A and B are shown apart, each in its own frame.
Chain A
Amino acid sequence: MTPASDDGLFERVLEAGSTDGCGAELYERRGRLLELTEDETGTSLLESGERGLALRLFKGGRSAFAASGLAHAFSLPDQARARLPRARTRRGVRLPAPAAGEALEPRPIGDPPAPNVDLARTLLTGFRQALTSSGRGSVAVREASVSLGERTERLATSSGRDTAWGSRLATLVATVVGRSTGGRFSARVVGAAPRPEELPVARLARHAADRVLLPLQGRPFEAARADVLLDPLVAAHLVGRLAPLFFGDDEEVLLAARTRDGRDALASPLLSVVDDATVSGGLVRGVRDGEGTPQGRTRLVERGLPSGRLTDSAAASRLSRPLSGNAIRVAWSDAPRIGVTNFFVDPSPGVSPLDLLGSVSRGLYAAVLLERPDVDLAADRFRIVVAGYAVEKGRATERVSEAAVSGRLSEFLRGVSGIGDDLKFAIGGTGSIGSPTLLVPRWKLG
């Protein structure tokens, strides 16, 4: 990490913001990203550095936000102050206070080091080799890219919080093409990990091969009703869509309606849902959120019953709940809003996925999603289009090119009769979403 070259700018902007009785919170992000892409035309190498500051002012239940790069940093207090009178007063909106015992020393940050291009090249080569093996010559890479990113962040407030932290993320994105006598099919797959060496390259290659070969080589699933076994990554994208239900007090009315004011369960007693910024395997390794609150583990659904909420400082105040550390800044130029870190189904009561498969007499193993899940939380409806395998007496019998699983979401979640112990994560929401294999018996298809 190189030292900051313009010592004092951060402090001066914060000081200028905290006049006129305003509470000020100043955030700085510095990032480096390296992206290596190989496609049919050749290779591209992207090397990107960013630095931005964002100021929030608070006064009398109002807040205003202004963000810019270095060139306009000194105008941020004026810009935010000009907008403050136009903000609407909202309960709970106030400057986040430091926790008791929090260290208060100033912590200047520097630019993160440049990521390693050779490592990116090695990962791409590994992916190509794994895909050749998984696709048995029928799958080609049209475009693949590896991104290695690292950032450092600092947040200080006029109430005394001053903290700095860093994080990393590696992603592999590939567009692959499957070819068979039945035609061609292409798909885009994404894998991620907090560190490059943890990227699941072989698993992503297998997934990519399934994603394009199953629709080409399989047959549509004919049964109108069958046991449905959702692959962890398919289940994760469905369960992940529940996350907004737990965003502070935004969805209290909807959550109450779904559970008849707490009399009904939201999901099967087998399902517990957690948001945990530090869980092993999660794609986010969080330390602090976008308000500088330390991040941790929040249980949101306990054996089917809603139990917790994801909060920022305003929502925590309105709900009289503890801060969960879920104020997320998607970019430095965006104001923090409630979001997930690693949002997942707790696999602790799970069994081996093979045991779940063995319990299926006639069903569908949904291996890959063919479209983005269509979920309407208000109407309690969902529809996913998948490809996978037909299962009879605990064994996969033939490939399925396409099947639609749809219906009432609450019934589906309450119908979960088995969960696996194979928790996997995918990029989703403002962080990552995860699930083990889920089994729902006798569900209608089509």
Chain B
Amino acid sequence: MKELPELARDADDAVRLVSGLLRRGETGEAFRERVRTESWSATESGLLAPALSVESGTAVRIRREGRLLLVARSGAGPEALRDAVREAGRLAGNAPFFKAHRTTGAAPGGRDAERPEEEESRSAALAAALARAFPDPRGVTAALQLSRVVTERTVVTPRAFLPCGARTRLVATGTIRRAGAERPFSFQSARPFAEAADALALALREAIRPVPALPPQPGPVDVVFSPSAASVFWHEVVGHSLEADGGERGSVLSRVKGAAVAPPGLDVHDDPGRADLPGAYGVDDEGSLARAVPLLAGGVVTGLLSDRRSGAVETNGHGRTASFRRPPRARMSNLVANAGSATLDELVARCGDGILVKEVATGSADPESGRFVLFVAAAEAIRRGRRNAPLAPFALGGEILSALGAIEEVWGNEVLPATGLSVCVKGGDAVPVGGAAAALLVRGLFARTARR
């Protein structure tokens, strides 16, 4: 008989426990998570020290009239669930129903299911990727942490046991120095391990290229975003502004719902169902079915990403959490924009004088004031409608409504996945996200130096 996964061994009892906990007027669920992280410290000369951590946890959440109670415990077995239910019941003033019939959880001493030879082959693949990335490590100093993270999640509602599946990511963070300049390095891929390792090698090779010396002149500038950079633009400008955790009127965009803010024909939606992108899931972390939500339809503000706590707005399957210890919040998954009709070269020609932004390293937005900043990692100048010299990293700022209003009515004809968008940190909570977009021309953004 096939062994049940660790998180699902007591499925029937778990559902009974959760339904017995909740009183009239309350909603809630239990959430189980198991995270297995194989990691390696590494330098430009190869892998140094391997490490493994396996962390599992259980949370029980009870909601009533805008209040949330969350009790979290280490361990994803029946005991942890019973302990969390007992404590949640005590804190909520309930009398939880306890009649566990079968307990088949893993006893202390359980072994990890992963096979050692598979891990060994992954170590070899990573070592090879590093060798390809740094064929001649002279003059380069890298301090990296490489991790393969496997996350399994399950939500137990009063009616059902909902496995959210397992997600595997290759994550790399650290710093790279070359020619007297240091740059942070961050990479994440949800692709199969071999492909992810190849992509990591490419990203590292890109990161050690010499940095151009000249940033753009500070001041207003017209900008063509590559498809990858456009995904980060949409993420900061539209995505964060339409996450419901700021309230229905908490951002410059949610305050103008129904208004046309961008060119007609422009659609942006959040789609957790895009399995090829890192932010995909089928059931959110509150047990709601994931749904695609249109945020801009024909340039008009139409939607809001919501979770179970979003006040007057019903959940649309965007309750996401960074860990079982944190409460879910309304968060983006994969932000996808539609294709237009122009090629990238046509947009560059249309721009005249300006900047072609190829990659954005990171960004931030204040949905309340509408200000946003994008830190550009790779860009080229545009002179008289032609691509020109590479530019040093710089920052690009703007105001959300003005920037949306300044998007040219013609945009790129090819929608491509973002390469620089993988994790979004908000309020200290990091969740995997993705994006796919076409190239864009936005007039009148504001360039400034990032450091010098």
Contacts and interface: CB of A to CB of B under 8 A. Distances in A.
B149 to A, nearest CB: 11
Interface in A172-195: 173, 175, 177, 183-188
Contacts of A52: 55, 74
Nearest to A49: B73
B65 to A, nearest CB: 7
Contact of B110 (A40, A72, A90, A142): A72
Interface in A257-274: none
B49 A177 contact: no
A391 B138 CA distance: 49
Contact of A185 (B56, B107, B366, B428): B366
Given A74-B108, A184-B368, A376-B182, A68 B91 contact: no
Query: By CB atoms of chain B within 10 A, which of A37, A42, A78, A142 has the most?
Result: A42
Nearest to B309: A41
Nearest to A56: B51
Contact of B111 (A65, A75, A175, A406): A75
A333 B108 contact: no
B404 to A, nearest CB: 17
Given A44-B67, A45-B68, A51-B74, A64 B369 contact: no
B52 A66 contact: yes
A48 B246 CA distance: 25
Interface string B49-87: 111111111000000011111111111110000000001
B402 interface: no
Given A65-B51, A83-B50, A42 B68 contact: yes
A41 B373 CA distance: 28
Interface stretch (A291-299, A351-359, A378-386): A378-386
A45 B70 contact: yes
Query: By CB atoms of chain B within 10 A, which of A71, A86, A183, A185 has the most?
Result: A71
Query: By CB atoms of chain A within 10 A, which of B53, B72, B73, B91 has the most?
Result: B53
Contacts of A90: 48-49
B111 A88 contact: no
B contacts with A: majority SS: mixed
B452 interface: yes
A198 interface: no
A53 to B, nearest CB: 10
Given A72-B110, A88-B48, A184-B368, A49 B449 contact: no
A381 B49 contact: no
Contacts of A73: 108-109
A43 interface: yes
Contact of B51 (A46, A335, A404): A335
B180 interface: yes
A192 to B, nearest CB: 13
A74 B54 CA distance: 12
B72 A49 contact: yes
Given A40-B247, A185-B369, A67 B53 contact: yes
Given A44-B327, A67-B52, A86-B123, A186 B74 contact: no
Given A9-B108, A406-B451, A379 B69 contact: no
Contacts of B143: 250
Interface of A: 6, 9, 33, 37, 39-52, 54, 62-75, 78-80, 82-83, 86-88, 90, 142, 173, 175, 177, 183-188, 250, 333-335, 371, 374, 376-379, 381-383, 404, 406
Given A42-B66, A73-B108, A404-B448, 17 more contacts: A42-B67, A44-B67, A44-B68, A45-B68, A46-B326, A50-B74, A86-B50, A87-B49, A90-B48, A173-B427, A188-B427, A333-B37, A333-B53, A335-B51, A374-B451, A378-B177, A383-B450
Interface of B: 37, 46-57, 65-77, 87, 91, 106-112, 116, 120, 123, 143, 177, 180-182, 245-247, 250, 309-311, 325-327, 366-371, 373, 427-428, 448-452
8 contacts: A47-B72, A66-B52, A71-B107, A72-B111, A73-B109, A175-B427, A379-B180, A379-B451
